[in-house]
Amino acid sequence: MPSFDIVKETEIQEKSFRVAQLYDQFDLKDNSIKEHFSGNIELPEDWNVGVIVGKSGTGKTTIAKELFAEGFCQPKYKAKSVIDDFPKKAETKEIFSVLSSVGFSSPPSWLKPYEVLSNGEKMRVDLAMAILQKKEIILFDEYTSVVDREVAQIGSLAVQKAVRRAGKKFIAVTCHYDVLNWLEPDWVFNTDTMEYQYTRGRLRRPEISIDIYKTKGNWPMFSKYHYLNHSAVSTSEEYTAYIGNKAVAIIIWITFPHPKTKIK
């Protein structure tokens, strides 16, 4: 049962003109800023996903560093292709599998350097890198902080599945409450209230309702994601899947030329 009683003290190093004005205007007296965080996190015997969640300034990172310092994952990217940044000991097939499992299954994008990837792609690479770490506990700070919320939620669904499949222990440190149900965590520690909850099987992702229609002309919306063929034959049949009003997937059926039978 990791418990903590942390006093974080920040010394005011220099009284500049602006700092002096701030002291005078707000009647500040102390030469240091003290913060106190205390509580306990009752790690279950069997778990895979945990979350430390709370508003900014409530001690999430401080607590995480105190209890799980060795789990922090801060990969460095220097290679010209992100695929070459992964550990040398990792098998190529294993890297391909982990990248796909976290929702980043675009081989052409694996050839790009990390700095040119989108924020969503960077997050997925970071997660794949974390999963491949040979650590007992993997801790991911500022989880989903720089991606839009739809990417964060769907990405969280992929992450929790990948973590459980790999038999890892993963802790997300985040200020975003909207990913909780999608991560389906085994436990949650809320730094707003300093309360711990065992949540295994209690937080479940929302149901996803998909409607499929026969359509025409939607292929251009999806072609850039298909790395083998960016064009579709005009005689093809097209079916598009929607979540609400948003097109999310497509199937193209193309007749294969055969002398005796029709094959699609």
Q: At 187, phi and psi to the nearest 5?
A: -150, 155
pLDDT of residue 23: 84
Assign 96 a pLDDT band (cuts: 50, 70, 90).
very high
Instruction: Give tens-digit pLDDT for 179-225.
Output: 999 999 999 999 999 999 999 999 999 888 999 999 998 988 888 77
Q: Which domains does the chain have, with CATH numbers?
A: 3-37 (no CATH), 42-198 (3.40.50.300), 211-253 (no CATH)
β-pair partners for 170: 49, 138
Q: Does residue 27 come out as left (phi exceeding 0), alpha (psi in the -120 to 50 range) or beta?
A: left
Assign 229 a pLDDT band (cuts: 50, 70, 90).
low
As a residue count, the chain comes to 264
Residue 253: C-alpha distances to residues 1, 55, 152, 212, 232 (Å) = 56, 48, 31, 14, 9
Instruction: Give tens-digit pLDDT for 49-89.
Output: 999 999 998 999 999 988 998 888 778 899 999 999 998 88
pTM of the entire predicted model: 0.81
| Pairing relationship of beta strands 170-174 and 138-140 according to DSSP bridges | parallel
Q: How many CB atoms lie within 10 A of CB 130?
A: 23
In 3D, which of 85, 3, 79 has the Cα closest to residue 39?
3
Instruction: Give tens-digit pLDDT for 119-160.
Output: 888 988 988 998 888 788 889 898 988 888 888 898 899 889
Q: Does residue 107 come out as left (phi exceeding 0), alpha (psi in the -120 to 50 range) or beta?
A: alpha
61-82 exposure pattern, b = at least 16 Cβ within 10 A, e = fewer: bebbeebbeebbbeeeeeeeeb
Assign 110 a pLDDT band (cuts: 50, 70, 90).
very high
Residue 193, token pair as written in the block: 């209230």
Q: Does residue 172 come out as left (phi exceeding 0), alpha (psi in the -120 to 50 range) or beta?
A: beta
